[in-house]
Each structure stands twice: as structure tokens, then as C-alpha cells.
Amino acid sequence: MKAKHPGHGKQVMKKKKAVLSKKQPSKRKKKAIFSGPSGVAGPSEAGKSGRGKEYGWAIAFITPALLILCFPAANLDILVWVALVPWLLALGKVKIKGALGLSYAVGFLFYGIACVWLRYVTPLGWFLLSFYLAFFFAAAGVGAWLLKRHTPRAWVFIFPLLWVALEYLRAWLLTGFPWYFLGHTQYKRLALIQIADIFGVYGVSFLAALANSSIAGAFVHYHKREISPRPERTKVRPSIMAVALTLILILLSLIYGKWRLGQMRLEPGPKIGIVQGNIPQRLKEVAIAGDELTAGDMFKTHLLLTFELQEQDLDLILWPETMVPGRLNEDAERQKFLGEVAQILDAALLVGAVTSVEKEGEIYGHNSAYHFSKQGEIIRRYDKLHLVPFGEFVPLRRYFPWLGRLVPYPTNFRPGSEATIFEAEESRFAVAICFEDTFPYLVRKFRRAGAHFLVNLTNDGWFRDSAELDQHMAFAVFRTVENRLGLVRAANTGISCFVLPSGEIFKVLKDAKGKRREVAGTLSGQIFTDSRKTFYSAYGDVFATSCSAILIISGLGAFVHRLRNKRLERQKSQ
């Protein structure tokens, strides 16, 4: 037997330690999957590998699919509470440039699919709107990434402020596009949406955004606990607090909603009839171009439907947006004829028509609503206040005439000058034309001017049998809750309906098969009013502006704090 070298045992132990030390980094690498400057919204080791990036981008694209299903016409509204989670998780696997690109791509895909109905009017406009709206998603993504990096414990609470601030900005910037807010998905959840009479639709959006950030944060912290070699050191308290806070706020919102619904004391208003002619947009454009035969047929269709309501003992009959051909203010014969119809039916008429104005050598139009009394006289006219860019006017056209070529139809309209209030029996009402009923600030203006209920005259025939018709109706529901206004909608191709001040859609025009889009017919019913005043009507978007202000002040504070720390570090190094 050979004797072993005295140092042989020490050498074996050193080799074993070296082997163990080589295995150890793989455990740390596994832990680092969600351990960048913090998982959900910051860069990570996974983000540095090609495989991690692919996985991150893949799960992010679950979000646009879920969001599309949340909104009408799918109406799978329960999905909104988790729809942003895949995207938020994916942000944890990329660096800041990746967060920007990823979020923009997700936003472009979502808005491109959501606004697909715009292709019927202008394919270029559809692309440009999707291109523009995607920047808001990109801003949310970069903001979430930075929040998680610099405020790893508080980001789940701050993210909803960011989301609400961006929704609010989107409702105002470049005349505004207040569509596809998270809160809009809940229009059927009456108890939940009653908080809109304080916070507006933004309050519901806040709850949905908080739920998503809380679930994403909880998932990441749970995952870190599972893979951490020392899970007792992984702090999960902020994520648990966020989930608990979300549940508490939703519960309080439901309690408040039940209480407000129980308080509701509806007061019967005038009896109203709706005429829905279902005039295809291609025929309407022919009539606008001057084809007298087509214009006459369009007018006759509405007259025949109007006389179907003769036995209903109505106070007011509605024709949708621009359903009277030509320029009504220049057509004395047609004015007289409509006045006689009102006298025969012993009911006031409210009809949509174009008004032509010549001023300082320039001719332009107003998108108007004319109110004929039961005696046949025009007593008031409302000219639309909030015009649709590239639909009713071309921004900067005076300076860049070539922009007019981007729109394949005449667009020389001007906004009106006042929020006109009409009267029907003992009630007062305002008119919102086309998309005006989706703008919170405008309907609040009508309410403050004394309106008891709102009439929406619209022509959604531009968008054929698409989900836009359902979405327009759904988004308008929030105006009723915010201001406690009854709503009646007269839509050319649908969806015509009556809505209570609680947001409940209680009467809808349908055909025998239950179809609501692209059908002709009439609907009559009584509008209901609610005398209660709301915080929202009095103070407007205080909640949304507060979210924006808190975010801006916090951001500036963090920036100043960072600069100060850098200055101190330089001083120490010197």
C-alpha cells in the first residue's frame, strides 16, 4: 500500500469547494429572472437574453386581445381587471428602450383593432389615429418601467394615477378622443359606476388600473418567494397591501353605488318618439351631392316613419343628425312643411340638419338641430360645439391647404357659439350631436346650463354594422351618471335608446329578430329626470386633474432629489 501525501486530503476538499462554487451562480441566475431593479417594470437578467425578450414580447400581446374582448360588442367586461397584467409582467423583462417599443406595439395593435370601424370612412385616418393613440400606451409603459425602477414598493399604487392622467390627457389633446377608457367597459355594472357622479368615468378606470398593477405586483413577489433560496427575506407586504386596498375600494364603490341607486327618485318627463330611418351612408352622400331624387326619398322615409307615431300622444319627435336634406335655413318650403307636420301631429319636432352661413365672403356650415314647436314655428337652433377633426373640419387647413386632400368629402364646418337649452313641456333639455355625448366636459356644461335631460342626434351610418354603434351608446351611459341626466338617443342606423339617470339602458329600438344595428323603425317612451345635483357636475374632473398633479409634482420632486444626490456624490468624490 502506498502512503498518501499529507496534503492530499486538503486538495480534495479544495476541488469539492470549487465544483460547488461553479454550480452556485446558476441558482443566482434563476433568482434574477424577476430581480432586475425590480421585476415588473424594470430591466432584468431575462431581458438581457434573446430568449427572455421573446418571452416578454409574447405575453405582452395577450393584453390587446383581452382589452378588445372587454369592450362592446364582446362585452366580456370582467377581463378588464386582469387585461393589463401580461403587458405589465412583460415590461419586467426588457430595458427602457424595450419598454418603449413593446408598449407602443401593444398600443398600436389594440387601437388598430379597436378603431377598425374607421376604415369605412378613411383608411388613412384609421392608420394615423392608431399611430397617434399608441403613443399614450408607450408613455404608460415607460412610466411604469421608471416607477418600478425608482419606487419598487410604491409603483403599484402610483401606476393607476399615471393611467388616469393619460386617459384625461387623451380626452383633451388635439380636440380629444375620449374612447376606450378602462372604466367604459363597466357600463352595465350599475352599482359600480355610480362613483362616476363624484370621480367621472376616471374613477372606474382608476379601480381597474389599480387591480391590474396589484395583481401584477403580487404575481412577481409570489414568484420571487418561490424561487428565492431565502424566501423569508422577500418582502411581499406592498403587494398584499395593494390587493387588499383594491378589494376595499371596489367594495366601498359597490356600497356607495347601492346607496345612490336606492336614493334615486325618478321624475317623469316628456313623452318622446324616435325616428330611425336607416339611410345607408352612400345614399346620404348622393343626397348631399345634390341628387334631388335621393334626397326626396330620404326625406319621405322619415316622414312615413314619423306618421307611424301619430297615435302615441307624444310631446317631442326626434330625427337623427343631418337627416333633413340640403341647407334647412335656406329652404323656406321645407321649413314650412316640417312646421305643418308638427301641427298635424300636435308634437314638437327636433330634426338634424345643416345650416349654411356666409360671412366676409366665406361660406361655411354648422351641424345643427332645429326645434319646431307644436305650432309649427322654429323656436331654437343648436349648432354643434365640438367638431370632429378631419370629419367636419381640417385642422390648419388655412395654412396647409393640401391637408384637405386627406379627406374624401367636404369638411367646411364651424363650431357653434353657445350651449343652447331647449324646452319640452315642463322639462329643459340639451342636444349633443354625433360624438358630443362622449365628451364629459361638454355634457357637464349642458347640465350646469340647466338641462334636465340630454338628446343625442347622431348618424353612425358611416360605420355600417360595426361595434362602433355599440361603443358609442355604451360610452354615453357615463354622461347620465356623472350628471344625473336622462338620455334619449336618435341614431340613423342605430342604436336608438332611452337611458335612465342611473345609467340603465331601459328601452332600445330593435327589429323583430332583436337586431339593433342597421334597422329602420320607431321607438317611443317617456324620459325620466333626476333632480339630484352631483359633485361631478359642480366641480368636474377634479379627480383626474388631481391624479395628474400628484404625478407631475412627485416626478419633479424625484428629479430634484436625484440631481441633489448626484451633486453630493460628486462633492464626496472630490
Do 501 and 555 fall into the same domain? no
Asked if the structure places residue 9 within a domain, the reply is no
Domain housing 422: 267-529
Kindly indicate the confidence band of residue 561, based on its pLDDT and cuts at 50, 70 and 90: confident
Look up residue 361 and give its DSSP letter: T
Regarding whether 44 and 173 lie in a shared domain, the answer is yes
Residue at 8 is within a domain: no
User: Could you tell me if 327 and 388 lie in one domain?
Assistant: yes
Q: Which residues fall within 8 angstroms of residue 414, CB to CB, at 6 or more apart?
A: 357, 364, 365, 366, 387, 393
376 within domain boundaries: yes
Q: How far apart are CA 124 and CA 134, in angstroms?
A: 16
pLDDT for position 224: 62
Place 280 in a pLDDT band, splitting at 50, 70 and 90: very high
Round to whole Å and give the CA distance between 511 and 493: 12
User: Which grid coordinates belong to 517?
Assistant: 344595428
429 plus 550 within the same structural domain: no
pLDDT on residue 441: 97
- Same domain? 271 vs 254: no
Classify 557 as helix, strand or coil. helix
Tell me which amino acid residue 85 is: V
For 186-235, write each residue's pLDDT tens digit.
999 999 999 999 999 999 999 999 999 999 999 887 766 544 445 445 45
Residue type, 108: F
- Same domain? For 247 and 353 the reply is no
Q: Is residue 11 part of a domain?
A: no
Residue closest to 271 by CA, chosen among 561, 416, 488, 122:
488
pLDDT at 252 over 90: yes
Tell me if 12 is assigned to some domain: no
Among the listed residues 507, 474, 138, 521, the one whose alpha carbon sits nearest the alpha carbon of residue 301: 521
Residues belonging to the active site: 321, 384, 434
The average pLDDT across 250-267 equals 96
For residues 462 and 392, give the distance between their C-alpha atoms in angstroms, rounded to a whole number.
13
Asked if 82 and 228 sit in the same domain, the reply is yes
Query: What type of residue sits at position 227?
Result: I
pLDDT band at 49 (very low <50, low <70, confident <90, very high): very low
Mark whether 452 and 318 lie in a shared domain: yes
Whether 339 and 198 share a structural domain: no
Answer yes or no: is 16 within a domain.
no
* Number of independent structural domains in the chain: 2
Same-domain pairing of 160 and 286 = no
In a domain, 515, yes or no: yes
Q: Is the same domain home to 500 and 568?
A: no
The whole-number average pLDDT for the span 265-293 is 91
> Lowest-pLDDT range, 12-16, 142-146, 274-278, 507-511?
12-16
CA distance 110 to 82: 15
CATH number, domain with residue 301: 3.60.110.10
pLDDT tens digits along 456-515 = 999 999 999 999 999 999 999 999 999 999 999 999 999 999 999 999 999 999 999 999
Residue 362 included in any domain: yes
Co-location of 240 and 280 in the same domain: no
